[in-house]
Structure formats: C-alpha cells, structure tokens
Amino acid sequence: MFSNKNSQKLSANDLRSSRYGVPLVTVQDPQNIVSEQFRVLRANIDFAAASLKKFKSVLFTSAEMSDGKSTAAQNLAVTWAQTGKRVLLLDADFRRPTVHKTFSISNEHGLTTVLAMNEQPASVIHSTEVPNLYIMTSGPMPPNPSELLASDKMLRIVTWMKEQFDMVVIDSTPLMLVPDAQALIPRTDGVVLVAMLGKTKRKSMASAAHILKLAKANVLGVVSRDPQRADKGYGYGYRYGYTSTNTMKTGDISKNSSKKSVKAKEKKESKISTSTEKMGENASEKTPLSSSHTPIVKSSASKSNKEQDFASSKKPQTTSSAASWSNFSYTNNESEKSETLNENHEASAPNIKEIPLIDTHAHLLPRSDDGSDSMTTSLQLAKEAVKEGVHTIIASPNQMDGRYINDANKVLSDVDDLNNTLKRVGIDLKILPGQEIHLSDEFLTAFDQGRLLTLANSKKYMLVELPNDSVPTIIHQVISKLREHNITIVIAHPERNLALLNDPKELNQLARQGALFQVSSPSINGFFGKEIADFSLAMLRRGFVTLIASETHGITSDQHYHLADAYSISDKLIGEGKTNIIKQNAVRVVKGEPVDGTTIQEF
C-alpha cells in the first residue's frame, strides 16, 4: 500500500520527492545506512523509555516546520513493526498531513471524522504491505483541530488504540506554530523532539523545551538531522505549509468532505543522519492511562423488575438520565433531539456499502461433536449458508466439555478435509478453524500445552463457553492470561447462561475486564424461548453484543441457518448501522484486527 515506484534501491531523486509523502527508506531500501540508523534510533528510544511503567504510545513533534518529524515517525513505526510489534501509525497533523500520501490512500476518512462525525475508528484503520503496521490518516481538515485533539473523546480514542496495539506512533504538528501537539502530550506515554542542525533556531528549541516542561512531558530524547553529513542515499525535500489540502465541511456532516488539490513547493534537498540524546530529566513520571478493553457507563435508570429490563422493543432504547459513551462517540443528555441525531448518525458510522457475511461459530465439522453427524449433513449446512449469503464459516467444535476433545491438530486436519470436499463438489464456501472451549480448571493447562485454537487461527480471539448455570471464578484468571498473549476472550452464547440470565449485572464485570460477547441467532429468533430472546435483545440494545453467530448444529434442528433472520431483527432493534458494525466485527475477527464497539450501558 505504501508508495513505491520500483522494487530496487531508490535513487536520490526518488527519495527527495515530496509528491509521494515521506520516503520510507526502512521499507524500500532496508540495507541502506540510514535504515540502520533508524533501527539504532528505535533501540535508543526503547532504552530511554525503559524507566516508564508502560510505554505504548509515542508522540513525534518538532520546534519548527520542515525539521523531519514525519519522516522520523513513519520510518520508526516501520522499524517497530519489523520487530513483531503490532503498530498503529496515527497522523494527528491536521494542518499538513503526509501519512495518506506515503501509503497512497484516500484521506476522506480518518481521525477527524472519528472525532467530529462519530465514525468508528476501526473502520478507518488501514492495513499496509508492511507486516504488523496499521495506519489511521488524519482525515479532512477540521475548523477546530486543537479543540478536537484536546477533547475527552480524543483521550478515549488514544486509550482504545493502546489497548488494541502494542505501539501507537503519533505524527503531530510542530510545537511553536499551533497548539495541536501540546494537546496530545498528556495523552501519550513519551515524546520525541526532532530538529535539524543548522536550521532549527536555538531560541525555538529552548521554547519547545519550555513547552514540554510545562506540559510535564516524558521527553525520551532529541533526534537531530544533520544536512551536512556526507552519508549518501537519503535526501528529500518538502514544504510544510499550514494550508489544508482536504477541508471538512461542517454544514452537512452526512456528505463527503470536500477535497482541494494544492501543489507542494519543493525546497532544497538535504541529507539526513539520526542520533539521539537525552534531553534533561523528565519533567515528571506520569503513570500511563489505564483503561478497560470495553467502554462502559452506568445507567441511573432503575428497573422495577427483570421483566421490564428484558422486555423486547421494536425501537432502540434510549436513556436521558445518564450520559453514555462508546469507544468512539459521546452522547450527552442535553436534549432528546440531539441524542436521537447522534444515535442515527452513529448508526451510519461504518460507511460500508456491502459487508461480507461471516459466521464465527458453527458446528459443521462432520462427526466431531453433537453437530453435523456426517459429511452429507455438513455439505447440506454449507449449501444453506451459501444460500443465506455466508461465504466464510469458522468451524468451532466443542473442546474439553466433558464429552468431546477436539485438540488443535485434529481441528486443523478436519477443516482441511472439509475444505477439500467443498471444493470438489463445487460449493463456494471457505471454512476456517476454531474451537468452542469449555471453561474449566483444565483450561490454562491446555492453553500452555498448545491444545487450544483461536478463532480463524488468528492468535487474537478465543471462543470460550461458560458452564450452563454458573460463571466460574477462574474466568478472571483466564482473561488475564489470554491478555498477556494479546488474545481477547469471546464468550459464546452468554444469553443462555443461567447465572447471567438471573443476574445480568455479572456481564458488567466481564465487560470491564475486556471480555467480548457472541450471541447466537436462534436465541435472538426465539428458538430457546421468550426469556432468552428478551435477554438477547436487551444485550443488543445495551451494546454488549460484539458478534452474532449461527451456532448451527444440524439440518434436523432449528439451530441451523437463520442467521439472516437474526440480523434482520437486529436491524429493526438497533438500526442498520450498528448491525453493520456487528457484521464487520466478524470480518475483523477473521483478519485478527481490532473490533468495533457500540455504546455499552450497564445492567
């Protein structure tokens, strides 16, 4: 996805071109001496951050414009990704963004549309050709950039990013020209200041240092670029003009942002070398922001009994007595009208024309558990899935439930056999491996032994089934253990757990710890009775549902493909936009990407 005119080593002219954003020498010429200097710089920053309690976000800024902060930020993001870390490169320079140019993608949607137009952040995160590197562009130029970056919403978004990624690299504005970067300093774990020897004025550097001290920034060091160095092969030029090439319309947020083309003037070419030096003592050692994986608000509305709380409704339920926020939007209670407008707009947030339909939980592997009893049954279920528009299914046979053992190697082999059979008979359906793992005291041992699979074998999400009538205390230890391995627990059909059904407040604690919830379509459709259906709809209304899955078992049961019906009910209950978020989450689970959330309102 990054701009790359050829796969050979870049010439000086290639590297000097600002037309394609900043040069990613660490990608296009990894053996170049400057690529090695960036790797040394990465190691020095990591070393400088070793004293911090947590180092998951770093802000790159400069005193003046054209000092090379964007080049440093973007190339260092690549080097962190090359170490195996999951890295998000965030363009928070609304004035003169470059990330979208470097990676050759549209800038119509990005951070500003998340902040100002309630788009879901995961929907504007792009993968790149660099393994483990993801980017979020700046988005259209807003009328109030510094206010957006200083908002509580920006704090929540950065917190969410730090939960989803191992490292968040933020490319911001220079400190001396606008207050944008100053607003971001308290939201990041460390700051790196970039300067150019022979260009950056001492007075400007002193002023920048004073700003950082006042902001109590954890300054990790200074990157100095020396244009006089004779290290060949890394020169570039660009103009850092504070004019927007992409301005956000504020009159009608439902329309696409306007796009203006402004040609950048080239400056004299320069050559770069990188070094680090510790910039005094940190003004303070601030504890990084802590957060739960899933945002939650408490509802002040009280219910007289469980029937009132679970009662199904044809309209999305709103509350005017308490503020509520999702990972990505904030709704206050100023008026019923503003709440409705926010809800309607949030519903259109994903901006997805057509979402591939993926089923994340199905028992269709033949003779593996109490699901499909033969290959013939599996093929019939596959035909039903294709008829409903499903093109990918995660096969999730029971594991360690006291009756069935489907260890990782067996599941992988069975999935291969089924895929080969589907291909041979001409059914256009892809099967991916997974398990529905029963929660028991053996769970952690089985995990350490490598007997457990993540959903789609993505190493990011694991489907866990609770006992029918309880929530074992070991679940908290399991959640923590999985998070140590960057795996998020997904609880299968919580709506049918008697303990949660009788006391849904237990969902609140699980959500606070970062658990996600997958509701089954037959529960929504009423196959298990009115009480379970009402609980399922209550979870949908309150934003607890991350995934909807068929949990299909066989053609003789009503637990096969009524997935489309469940999505239709969800559309009517919470709106098409929020339902699309749930559909898109299935796509993200398969890819191992961060999932989106909607407003969670506690029971």
Task: Check pLDDT > 90 for residue 280.
Answer: no
Task: Check pLDDT > 90 for residue 562.
Answer: no
Which is it for strands 545-549 and 125-127: parallel, antiparallel or unpaired? Answer: unpaired
| Mean pLDDT (the chain, rounded) | 77
**In a shared domain, residues 336 and 228:** no
What average pLDDT does the segment 46-57 reach? 90
**In a shared domain, residues 273 and 338:** no
- DSSP track, 396-462: --EESSSS----HHHHHHHHHHHHHHHHHHT---EEEE--EEEPSTTHHHHHHTT----GGG-SSEE
Q: Domain for residue 51, yes or no? A: yes
Q: Domain for residue 443, yes or no? A: yes
**In a shared domain, residues 329 and 227:** no
Higher pLDDT: 583 or 256? It is 583
Q: Domain for residue 554, yes or no? A: yes
Least confident of 181-185, 252-256, 381-385, 388-392: 252-256
**In a shared domain, residues 189 and 61:** yes
Please tell me the total number of residues recorded for the chain in this structure.
Answer: 603
Task: Check pLDDT > 90 for residue 198.
Answer: no
Q: Domain for residue 15, yes or no? A: no
For residue 598, the model assigns a pLDDT of: 63
- Using one digit for the tens of pLDDT, what is the confidence trace for 330-371? 222 223 333 332 333 333 333 435 788 999 999 999 999 989
Q: Domain for residue 413, yes or no? A: no
What average pLDDT does the segment 291-301 reach? 39
Using alpha carbons only, how large is the chain's radius of gyration in Å? Answer: 26
**In a shared domain, residues 211 and 333:** no
Given the structure tokens 């350490």, which residue do they identify? 448
Band of the pLDDT at 269, cuts 50, 70, 90? very low
Least confident of 160-174, 295-309, 500-514: 295-309
Task: Check pLDDT > 80 for residue 134.
Answer: yes
- DSSP track, 150-174: TSHHHHHHHHHHHHH-SEEEEE---
For residue 472, the model assigns a pLDDT of: 94
What average pLDDT does the segment 586-600 reach? 84
Q: Please give the tally of structural domains in the chain.
A: 2
Task: Check pLDDT > 50 for residue 260.
Answer: no
Q: How far apart are CA 580 and CA 371, in angstroms?
A: 28
Given the structure tokens 């950065």, which residue do they identify? 158
Task: Check pLDDT > 70 for residue 24.
Answer: yes
For residue 307, the model assigns a pLDDT of: 44
**In a shared domain, residues 338 and 209:** no
- Using one digit for the tens of pLDDT, what is the confidence trace for 515-540? 999 999 999 999 889 999 999 999 99
**In a shared domain, residues 332 and 212:** no
Higher pLDDT: 32 or 320? It is 32
Q: Domain for residue 431, yes or no? A: no
For residue 363, the model assigns a pLDDT of: 94
Band of the pLDDT at 97, cuts 50, 70, 90? very high
Contacts 24+ apart (CB under 8 A), 314-321: 314/572, 314/573, 315/573, 316/343, 316/541, 316/573, 316/574, 316/575, 317/541, 317/542, 318/343, 319/601
Q: Domain for residue 103, yes or no? A: yes
Band of the pLDDT at 205, cuts 50, 70, 90? confident
What average pLDDT does the segment 37-60 reach? 91
Task: Check pLDDT > 80 for residue 234.
Answer: no
CA nearest neighbour of 34 among 274, 238, 277: 274
Band of the pLDDT at 245, cuts 50, 70, 90? very low
Task: Check pLDDT > 70 for residue 183.
Answer: yes
Task: Check pLDDT > 70 for residue 35.
Answer: yes
Higher pLDDT: 503 or 307? It is 503
Band of the pLDDT at 20, cuts 50, 70, 90? low
**In a shared domain, residues 338 and 216:** no
Coil vs helix vs strand at 358: strand
What average pLDDT does the segment 59-84 reach? 91
Q: Domain for residue 489, yes or no? A: yes
Higher pLDDT: 512 or 241? It is 512
Band of the pLDDT at 319, cuts 50, 70, 90? very low
Band of the pLDDT at 555, cuts 50, 70, 90? low
For residue 118, the model assigns a pLDDT of: 82
Residue 192 belongs to what H/E stretch?
strand 190-196
Q: How far apart are CA 155 and CA 166, in angstroms?
A: 17
For residue 476, the model assigns a pLDDT of: 92
For residue 300, the model assigns a pLDDT of: 38
- Using one digit for the tens of pLDDT, what is the confidence trace for 386-435? 998 999 999 999 999 889 999 999 999 999 999 999 999 999 999 999 99
What average pLDDT does the segment 248-274 reach? 37
* CATH number, domain containing residue 459: 3.20.20.140
Q: How far apart are CA 162 and CA 168, in angstroms?
A: 7
**In a shared domain, residues 332 and 273:** no
For residue 249, the model assigns a pLDDT of: 45
Task: Check pLDDT > 60 for residue 283.
Answer: no
Residue 54 is classified by DSSP as: -
Residue 145 lies in domain: 24-247+269-277
* CATH number, domain containing residue 231: 3.40.50.300
For residue 541, the model assigns a pLDDT of: 93
**In a shared domain, residues 450 and 570:** yes
